[in-house]
Amino acid sequence: MTGAGTADAVETVFRIESARIIAGVTRIVRDVGIAEELAQDALVAALEQWPESGVPDRPGAWLMATAKHRAVDLVRRKETYARKLAEVGRALEDVPPPEPSDAEDIDDDLLRLVFTACHPVLPAPARIALTLRLLGGLTTPEIARAFLVAEPTVAQRVVRAKRTLAEARVPFEVPYGTERSARLSSVLEVIYLVFNEGYTATAGDDLVRPALCEDALRLVRVLANLMPDEPEVHGLAALLEFQASRIPARTGPAGEPVLLADQNRAKWNRILIRRGVDALHRGGHGPYSLQAAIAAHHALALRYEDTDWAAIATLYDRLLAQSPSPVVELNRAVAVSMAEGPAAALKLVDALAVDPALKGYHLLPSVRGDLLERLGRVPEAREEFERAAALARNARERELLLARAARSG
């Protein structure tokens, strides 16, 4: 194999294996920042050695072993240093000894890494950046591009996050008991936020950034395999599979958004829908599972007219009872408008209009405009679409809303 070919092979293997390597090494050095550096060192060693020796039969295992050797060396050096310090009468540094490890622990290490990257001691944007970096294998420029923020901002977030974890001495563990469900919800939220940013970009020119959706989908699939007994993980997996199945139909040829009612359902990805149904069967009754159940009703309706809106409205009732939110209430109002007519829904939406949480949320006037249009109150509908367009931060959504305003002229 040529040098360039080997370099490509090394990088590909590294991308596949990096999360597991970082996870395995973090268990030894207890610091994700140092672990990431050691994993990079192993990559450099591979780039130096493989062109000479050839790519090993089990390249992932080679990288893991190399990184772990370096980690153990590092810890030993620190221990020696600490002992010498103690000999001269200073305090012994608290360095944990390296632990024996074998391949079967890799899954646990990966899970610990997920929980560490999503630790609540970090602000949400830092959790997202660190998760994409350590588990999604994304580079800083890739993360910056995906979230439309400057590269130095992302780099700073990642550096600060690693330092915060080290300073807070966040244990490298999967918590148990009540803390587990609290921490798990942070993990699921990060994946959910990454997916949503890709599914409907909050700003910018593109409606959809499918790469982010795919990264989130991959993370949740990995998590579902790591935590098969957690129903909400399967619930979120189901929700994302269903949502992702519609991506090819959500935009038209010019990148313009296509509403659910107008989507060509033949473009929906049936494999993802089937995977969503499988995951939903393993889901529970939590908020993600309920949202997945709603998405399933859409995914399984062969035509828009076949949608069971009454069932969807009932699911929204259950979702509201569990996790009240004005956005969920707004979505419920849409389902009610389809099940019972626009007049019933308009009352609900009008009640929501005073909610300060929805002030500035473009979908409120958008839904209201839709209901008014269906009630024949055209001039009022146009005003609402115009208001929605002014609030929308995504260029594609804004265009669609302005077009609807013009049409109700």
Binding site for another protein (CB under 8 A): 8-9, 11-13, 15-16, 57, 107, 137, 211, 214-215, 217-222, 225-226, 248, 267, 271, 275
Minimum distance from CB of 62 to another protein (Å)?
14
Minimum distance from CB of 60 to another protein (Å)?
9
| Residue 238 vs 330, nearer CB to another protein | 238
| Residue 266 vs 302, nearer CB to another protein | 266
Q: How many CB atoms lie within 10 A of CB 191?
A: 28
| Residue 193 vs 378, nearer CB to another protein | 193
| Residue 103 vs 351, nearer CB to another protein | 103
State whether residue 257 is helix, strand or coil. Answer: strand
| Residue 29 vs 213, nearer CB to another protein | 213
> What does each C-alpha distance from 385 to 257, 268, 328, 381, 400 come to in angstroms?
15, 28, 20, 6, 9
- The Cα–Cα gap between 179 and 270 comes to 37
Q: Which amino acid belongs to residue 343?
A: A
Q: What is the DSSP letter of 215?
A: H
Q: What is the DSSP letter of 91?
A: P
> What does each C-alpha distance from 392 to 54, 273, 331, 395 come to in angstroms?
54, 30, 17, 7
Q: Which two tokens stand for residue 178?
A: 């009540």
| Residue 247 vs 345, nearer CB to another protein | 247
- The Cα–Cα gap between 1 and 19 comes to 26
Minimum distance from CB of 267 to another protein (Å)?
8
Q: Which two tokens stand for residue 274?
A: 């089937």
Minimum distance from CB of 41 to another protein (Å)?
21
Q: Which of 257, 114, 250, 85 is nearest to 175 (CA)?
A: 114
- The Cα–Cα gap between 290 and 46 comes to 46
Minimum distance from CB of 8 to another protein (Å)?
6
Minimum distance from CB of 80 to another protein (Å)?
37
| Residue 214 vs 308, nearer CB to another protein | 214
Q: What are the φ and ψ backbone dihedral angles of 36, each rounded to 5 degrees? A: -65, -40
Q: Which of 111, 90, 98 is nearest to 71 (CA)?
A: 98
Minimum distance from CB of 157 to another protein (Å)?
23
Q: What are the φ and ψ backbone dihedral angles of 324, each rounded to 5 degrees? A: -60, 135
